[in-house]
Amino acid sequence: MNKLSMAVRRVWGSFLLAMVTAGIMSPASAWAQTQDKASTAKPLAGQSVKIAWIDPLSGLMAPVGANQLKSFQFFADKFSATNPAGVKFEVIGIDNKLSPTESLNALKSALDQGVRYITQGNGSSVALALVDAINKHNERNPGKEVIFLNHSAVDPDLTNSKCSYWHFRFDADTSMKIEAMTTFMRDQKDIKKVYLLNQNYSHGTQVVRYSKEALARKRPEVQIVGEDLHPLAQVRDFSPYIAKIKASGADTVITGNWGSDLALLVKAAMEGGYTGKFYTYYTGVTGTPTALGTQGAGKVYQIAYNHYNMGKPMEGWVKEFNQKFNDDFYTGSVVRIFEILGEAMAMTKSTDPVKVAAAMEGLRFKSFNGDLEMRKTDHQLQQPLYMSVWDKASSKFPYSPEKTGMTLVPVKEFPPYVSSTPTSCQMKRP
């Protein structure tokens, strides 16, 4: 206990003693109030928790990484003041250049600094490399275990065949997103021919796999008229891909592209006169709103766990973030990471990753998008998903990203049971 806490307790004790002596309060009541005050105190007040953020700050995806690092630091300050454990969160940003190899170097650097909590989310190939490295580290270094807080890497293997006790995912994985997306598409009878265009790494190939399976199950009459996988964060001109999509006769494109790969894709589509629809994951991410502008109105749909117009408390957060950074907050998983850490640390009265991981398993908590559960069997967060469409901002849906005058208008909410998918995870627990 620090000196300030001891002083406060002495003052409080003296006050209660005076009340008892004066006959205003019974000894039993005084004792009860002392216990109540002790129980409401934040158990870890004054302790710090370092989180290493390992994601890109250079290359074509640097704008996305820079936005997310600001997001983590912004909410670290917010939740340092409000979390029930009383801990202070500190975020250390490390550029991984979107490379698995560089990410392993970043992990070593974080471990050397005594960091016990790691977060990453841009690139499932990176996430898979980190999971493997963290598993090995934790096995070889008892007492120095590390938790991996996955904010956005959505390859389903991370909570299935490659699941790990030390990995917790806060985004919805591709199987969940495609399940909700195709449930919506099932009723869109104007969808007849689909083109699959995705990034050539684990995430992109999983989008292709699950899209084919779900469409065959829900809309067997829909034709897959083409598919392409392109290099991650390397393509600067997508006009050849748009030409192929137009030539195929596709009325709809499904893509899990993000960052520059989505912004440049939709830019090429707008400039190339493609009039079909896009079904996406990351329309709100840096650069894409500007690329879409007003031309994308009614053409681009997004499936995600949030959107720009979610009411309180998100409404206040996005406004404050925009005022502070002249940028848009869109990675809502950041909020849930701080929420669950605060709850788990308060429950265990500890920052020890072993105790915190055990507390996070199966934990149910309320967040900005409803009642959530960190599923114990695979550490996949169960949550509502939303289908929204790019359209003009209005008094009802006022927030406009990148000052475009446009926004993502919600059109359908899917409760957790709709998008929840089974897991094959056979988790090895310590």
DSSP letters spanning 267-332: HHHHHHT--SEEEES-TTSTTHHHHHTTTTTTTEEEEES--S---TTHHHHHHHHHHHHSS----T
What number is the average pLDDT over the span 357-381? 97
Q: Which helix (H) or strand (E) holds 168?
A: strand 167-169
Exposure string of 236-249, with b = 16+ CB inside 10 Å and e = fewer, is eebeebbeebbebe
What number is the average pLDDT over the span 421-427? 97
Given a cut of 50, whether residue 195 has pLDDT beyond it is yes
Mean pLDDT computed over every residue of the chain: 93
Q: Which helix (H) or strand (E) holds 338?
A: helix 333-348
Given a cut of 90, whether residue 393 has pLDDT beyond it is yes
Given a cut of 60, whether residue 2 has pLDDT beyond it is no
At residue 306, the pLDDT reads 95
Backbone angles phi, psi at 294, to 5 degrees: -80, -20
What number is the average pLDDT over the span 59-71? 97
CA distance 322 to 325: 5
Please check whether residue 288 is in contact with residue 347, taking contact to mean a CB–CB distance below 8 angstroms. Answer: no
CA distance 101 to 163: 21
Per-residue 3-state assignment (H helix, E strand, C coil) for 70-116: HHHHHHHHHHHHHCCCCCEEEEEEEECCCCHHHHHHHHHHHHHCCCC
What number is the average pLDDT over the span 65-92? 98
Q: Which residues pair with 321 in a beta bridge?
A: none
At residue 41, the pLDDT reads 79
CA distance 181 to 172: 12
Q: Which CATH class is domain 48-154+312-362?
A: alpha beta
Antiparallel, parallel or unpaired: β 147-150 and 117-120? parallel
CA distances from 94 to 77, 86, 282, 285 (A): 19, 26, 23, 20
CA distance 308 to 90: 26
CA angle 187, 192, 197 (to 5 degrees): 105
Q: What is the pLDDT of residues 140-191, one digit of tens each?
A: 999 999 999 999 999 999 999 999 999 999 999 999 999 999 999 999 999 9
- Give the tokens for residue 171: 């985004």
Given a cut of 60, whether residue 11 has pLDDT beyond it is no
- Give the tokens for residue 273: 């006169």
Cβ neighbours around 342 below 10 Å, total:
23
Given a cut of 50, whether residue 27 has pLDDT beyond it is no
At residue 26, the pLDDT reads 47
**3.40.50.300, 3.30.420.480, 3.50.50.60, 3.40.50.2300: which CATH number matches 175-309+385-419?**
3.40.50.2300
- Which 3 state secondary structure label does DSSP give 333? helix
Q: What is the pLDDT of residues 246-274, one digit of tens each?
A: 999 999 999 999 999 999 999 999 999 99
- Which 3 state secondary structure label does DSSP give 246? helix
Given a cut of 50, whether residue 220 has pLDDT beyond it is yes
Per-residue 3-state assignment (H helix, E strand, C coil) for 190-203: CCCEEEEEEECCHH
Identify the burial level of 275 via C-beta atoms within 10 angstroms of its C-beta, where 0-12 means exposed, 13-18 middle and 19 or more buried: exposed
Its pTM stands at 0.90
At residue 37, the pLDDT reads 44
Beta strands, E only, 311-405? 364-367, 370-374, 381-382, 385-392
CA distance 199 to 174: 14
Query: How much of the chain, in percent, has pLDDT values that exceed 70?
Result: 91
CA distance 15 to 28: 15
- Give the tokens for residue 50: 């370092």
